[in-house]
């Protein structure tokens, strides 16, 4: 009677070779073994993904490294929890994922630049990866931790105009939605609708995505968007609402970045390849440390939207 026992589908148990390939060598697919990013060249230490600091309560009203300067209100309530939560840390390899491999042939995204405007049009369905099966099935081990989240992956209309040549200004709060990724999917800030660390608590698929009433989205480093290989600076994987680009987790030395390597908005400035040119430009990095992506806007956001329901 297998139905009585949810199928184990933690990342550690079921990382498929295909996914492993797109994980660009992300550390710690196996708990207790190799659970470390390569030691950072600056000697700041490696990141143990089996003991990531949970971002609950790490909300600030001014730019602060390791915190999220969030616009969305504190709502409260309870967050899904389980054996992957260890006090003030959570274990990436131990956390269950929503199973499945659903593809979206109708997915579309176009990103064009015209004058001073970069326009991103998509239908919020991922163009370059599959998703888990949503609503989460009762047979999925993720179901028992968050049975109330019954959102479906549905097409949404995204038509975003952001500055093509963004400028740094006084940092401002970020969220709920903070950008759009090259997959065409929305990026929300690191907090879930109740103000908890979404990556630590919410049930997500192997790509770190999941839907709510307003469609599919990420809250953290999207694991299925190809972002390059270790040893080189990550590729561009998305755009924030202030027009600055978002890159994957690898810094200039090709090593995984830590919060200490980035400013309070989770970015930094150096030469990057963008729009076919090499330019010295501020950019964000999506990493595995809270607040994961945009910690505050370094430029002026042009498309602030209310937090999702
Ligand atoms: Zn969410
Ligand atoms: Zn960089």
- Summarised one tens digit per residue, pLDDT across range 269-301 is 999 999 999 999 999 999 999 999 999 999 999
Distance 148 CA to ligand 2 centre (A): 38
For residue 12, the model assigns a pLDDT of: 53
pLDDT tens string 117-169: 999 999 999 999 999 999 999 999 999 998 888 899 999 999 999 999 999 99
In the predicted structure, residue 14 carries a pLDDT above the cut 60: no
Ligand sitting nearest the alpha carbon of 194:
1
Contact of 149 with 202, CB cutoff 8 Å = yes
In the predicted structure, residue 22 carries a pLDDT above the cut 80: no
Query: Is residue 8 classed exposed, middle or buried when 0-12, 13-18 and 19+ CB atoms within 10 A define those classes?
Result: exposed
| Residue 136 to residue 151: CA distance in whole angstroms | 8
Q: Which of 6-15, 91-100, 218-227 has the lowest mean pLDDT?
A: 6-15
Q: Is the dihedral of CA 287, 224, 126, 191 positive or negative?
A: negative
Distance 283 CA to ligand 1 centre (A): 23
Ligand sitting nearest the alpha carbon of 271:
2
The residue-averaged pLDDT of 1-24 equals 41
Q: DSSP of 44-57, one letter per residue?
A: ----BTTSEEP-TT
Ligand sitting nearest the alpha carbon of 233:
2
Distance 235 CA to ligand 2 centre (A): 9
Distance 247 CA to ligand 2 centre (A): 7
Ligand sitting nearest the alpha carbon of 195:
1
Nearest alpha-carbon partner for 178 in 267, 273, 7, 293: 293
Ligand sitting nearest the alpha carbon of 193:
1
pLDDT tens string 208-223: 999 998 899 999 999 9
In three-state secondary structure terms, 247 is strand
Distance 212 CA to ligand 1 centre (A): 6
- Give how many domains the chain has, as a whole number: 1
Ligand sitting nearest the alpha carbon of 254:
2
In three-state secondary structure terms, 309 is coil
| Residue 246 to residue 238: CA distance in whole angstroms | 5
Ligand sitting nearest the alpha carbon of 202:
1
Distance 271 CA to ligand 1 centre (A): 32
Distance 269 CA to ligand 2 centre (A): 7
Distance 290 CA to ligand 1 centre (A): 15
Q: The pTM is what?
A: 0.86
For residue 16, the model assigns a pLDDT of: 38
Range of the domain at 181: 1-309
Percent of the chain scoring above 90 in pLDDT: 75
Query: Is residue 89 classed exposed, middle or buried when 0-12, 13-18 and 19+ CB atoms within 10 A define those classes?
Result: middle
Ligand sitting nearest the alpha carbon of 273:
2
| Residue 57 to residue 251: CA distance in whole angstroms | 27
Ligand sitting nearest the alpha carbon of 187:
1
Distance 94 CA to ligand 1 centre (A): 19
Q: Which helix (H) or strand (E) is 279 found in, with range?
A: strand 277-285
Q: Which of 18-22, 89-93, 214-218, 242-246 has the lowest mean pLDDT?
A: 18-22
Query: CB count, 10 Å around CB of 170?
Result: 10
Using CA atoms in the order 44, 251, 65, 29, what is the torsion angle rounded to 10 degrees?
-70
Contact of 230 with 254, CB cutoff 8 Å = yes
Measured CA angle at 151 (ends 226, 108), to 5 deg = 40
In the predicted structure, residue 34 carries a pLDDT above the cut 50: no
């Amino acid at each position: 009677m297998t139905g009585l026992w949810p199928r184990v589908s933690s990342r550690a148990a079921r990382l498929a070779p295909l996914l492993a390939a797109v994980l660009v060598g992300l550390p710690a697919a196996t708990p207790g073994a190799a659970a470390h990013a390569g030691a950072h060249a600056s000697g700041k230490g490696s990141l143990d993904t089996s003991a990531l600091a949970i971002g609950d309560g790490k909300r600030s009203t001014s730019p602060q490294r390791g915190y999220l300067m969030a616009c969305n209100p504190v709502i409260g309530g309870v967050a899904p929890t389980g054996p992957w939560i260890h006090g003030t840390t959570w274990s990436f390899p131990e956390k269950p994922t929503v199973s499945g491999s659903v593809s979206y042939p109708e997915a579309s995204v176009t990103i064009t630049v015209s004058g001073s405007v970069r326009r991103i049009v998509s239908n919020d369905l991922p163009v370059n990866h599959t998703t888990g099966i949503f609503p989460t099935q009762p047979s999925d081990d993720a179901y028992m931790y968050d049975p109330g989240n019954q959102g479906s992956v549905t097409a949404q209309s995204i038509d975003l105009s952001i500055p093509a040549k963004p400028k740094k200004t006084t940092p401002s709060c970020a969220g709920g939605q903070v950008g759009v990724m090259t997959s065409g999917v929305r990026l929300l800030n690191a907090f879930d609708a109740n103000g908890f660390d979404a990556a630590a608590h919410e049930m997500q698929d192997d790509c770190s995505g999941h839907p709510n009433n307003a469609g599919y989205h990420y809250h953290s480093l999207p694991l299925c968007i190809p972002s390059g290989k270790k040893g080189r600076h990550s590729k561009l994987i998305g755009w924030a609402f202030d027009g600055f680009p978002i890159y994957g987790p690898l810094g200039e030395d090709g090593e995984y970045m830590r919060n200490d390597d980035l400013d309070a908005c989770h970015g930094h400035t150096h030469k990057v390849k963008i729009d076919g040119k090499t330019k010295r430009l501020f950019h964000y990095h999506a990493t595995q440390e809270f607040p994961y992506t945009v910690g505050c806007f370094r430029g002026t956001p042009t498309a602030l939207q209310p937090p999702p329901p």
